[in-house]
Amino acid sequence: MKTVLLENNEKDITIAAELIRNGEVVGVPTETVYGLCADARNESAVKAVFEAKGRPADNPLIVHLAEFSQAELYTSYIPELAYRLAEKFCPGALTMVLPKNNRIPMITSGGLDTVGIRVPSHPVMHRVIELSGCPVAAPSANISGLPSPTCAEHVMQDMNGRISAVINGGNSKYGVESTVISFDNENTVRILRPGAVTKEMLAQICGNVIIDPAILSELAENAVASSPGMKYKHYSPKADVIMIESSLQDFIEYVDQNNSDNTYSLIFDGDEDNFPCRYLTYGADSSQQAHMIFRRLRELDDMGAEKVYVRAPSKTGVGLAVYNRLIRAAGFEVIKL
Ligand code: TXA
Ligand code: MG
């Protein structure tokens, strides 16, 4: 299959929407990361998404809609709190897990009786959904297990020859995937995956916001995951990633002592002065770090890095999302100095 690179204009967006309506798979930019889009109701199109990614069949796809009110078409119950969250965060980087109805096939929901609903704000993705007239299933457009793509070149690296087309919409605004939440009760939400809609932002609307324990620590062997994605190794580059929680001085001493061939450090902007070993920087604050983290993990692979020491980011605000992606890339290997 030849993968066509489409441009960000109405003519090409119309082509992409038509491909999706005809059961094909297209890479589309969103404000979080690029998505692999297919008609969520079309079982063979959704199957093609799982195949293109090499994704386990029990890991559900998020369904993207043009307006939150359309969630009523695909779910059996929407709590009042979900409407209040939608007023504030739809369109945006929030995915709400709700009980699905039978308009969403089991293959799309990975066999679950729930469906994640998101209303993306990116104008290209929004227009693709509108023109296709479909509820659009879209996981991140990477090969399963690799860092999510934040530009069209990353999608091409992973998906060239596997899907019909990719729309080039430049760099993703946030750079980490959406915040996924479920509802524990009428005023409590549970964060299953942290993202750009932060705990602090959710707490302004919800009485209670729980951070699922699997976000910061490894699931016990027999534990049931609240979200199937928690079970799988994610975001992992080929290199062995090790996260270090320490002061800059202790970090420098540690990597200086443990440096070897093809070892790199991933440090903050501002840490560079007299840094003793090879490094890349990934931003000065949480929002820059979110923007750059997946790109840097891909670059480290391209450079042939075998070991990467990462300065642990802050766990507040969108930093929690960066921390979560990195601790998973590190296979939960953290050194505290
Ligand atoms: O920002 C995003 O969410 C991007 C863009 C393309 O919208 N999409 C994305 O999809 O990151 P994906 O499939 O790579 O990650 C979705 C995560 C998975 O970890 C999955 O297990 C979880 O959301 N998820 C989806 N539906 C769920 C459900 N019904 N219950 C629990 N977790 C669910
Ligand atoms: Mg993904």
Query: pLDDT tens digits for 72-112?
Result: 999 999 999 999 999 999 999 999 999 999 999 999 999 99
Rounded-to-integer distance, Cα 97 and Cα 117, Å: 6
Which residue's CA is the closest to the ligand 1 atom numbered 21?
Answer: 229
Give yes or no for residue 196 CB within 6 A of ligand 1: no
188: which 2 tokens? 């409590």
Question: Of the ranges 135-149, 235-249, 270-284, which one carries the lowest mean pLDDT score?
Answer: 235-249
Average pLDDT over residues 145-168: 97
Rounded-to-integer distance, Cα 55 and Cα 327, Å: 21
**At residue 138, does pLDDT exceed 90?**
yes
Give yes or no for residue 176 CB within 6 A of ligand 1: no
Q: What's the mean per-residue pLDDT of the chain?
A: 96
Q: Could you tell me the domains of the chain?
A: 4-215 (3.90.870.10), 240-336 (3.40.50.11030)
How many angstroms is it from 46 CA to the middle of ligand 2? 15
The predicted structure's pLDDT at residue 238: 83
The predicted structure's pLDDT at residue 230: 85
Cβ neighbours for 269, distance < 8 A, ≥ 6 positions apart: 281, 282, 283, 284, 288
**At residue 154, does pLDDT exceed 80?**
yes
Confidence bin at 222 (pLDDT 50/70/90): confident
Ligand 1 atom at shortest distance from the alpha carbon of 232 = 19
Rounded-to-integer distance, Cα 189 and Cα 153, Å: 36
Confidence bin at 219 (pLDDT 50/70/90): confident
| Sign of the dihedral defined by the CA atoms of residues 331, 283, 269, 336, in that order | negative
Give yes or no for residue 326 CB within 6 A of ligand 1: no
Give yes or no for residue 27 CB within 6 A of ligand 1: no
Higher per-residue pLDDT: 151 or 231: 151
* pLDDT above 70 coverage of the chain, percent: 99
pLDDT tens per residue, range 176-215: 999 999 999 999 999 999 999 999 999 999 999 999 999 9
Rounded-to-integer distance, Cα 258 and Cα 256, Å: 6
Rounded-to-integer distance, Cα 170 and Cα 276, Å: 34
Confidence bin at 337 (pLDDT 50/70/90): very high
Give the other-Cβ count within 10 Å of 87's Cβ: 10
- In whole angstroms, what separates CA 3 from the centre of its chain? 22
The predicted structure's pLDDT at residue 218: 87
pLDDT tens per residue, range 262-308: 999 999 999 999 999 999 999 999 999 999 999 999 999 999 999 99
SS3 content of the chain, % helix, strand, coil (to 5): 30, 20, 45
How many angstroms is it from 116 CA to the middle of ligand 1? 7
The predicted structure's pLDDT at residue 109: 98
How many angstroms is it from 140 CA to the middle of ligand 2? 4
How many angstroms is it from 337 CA to the middle of ligand 1? 34
User: Cα-flanking dihedrals φ and ψ of residue 241, to 5°?
Assistant: -100, 135
Give yes or no for residue 60 CB within 6 A of ligand 1: yes
Q: Which ligand lies nearest the alpha carbon of 146? A: 2
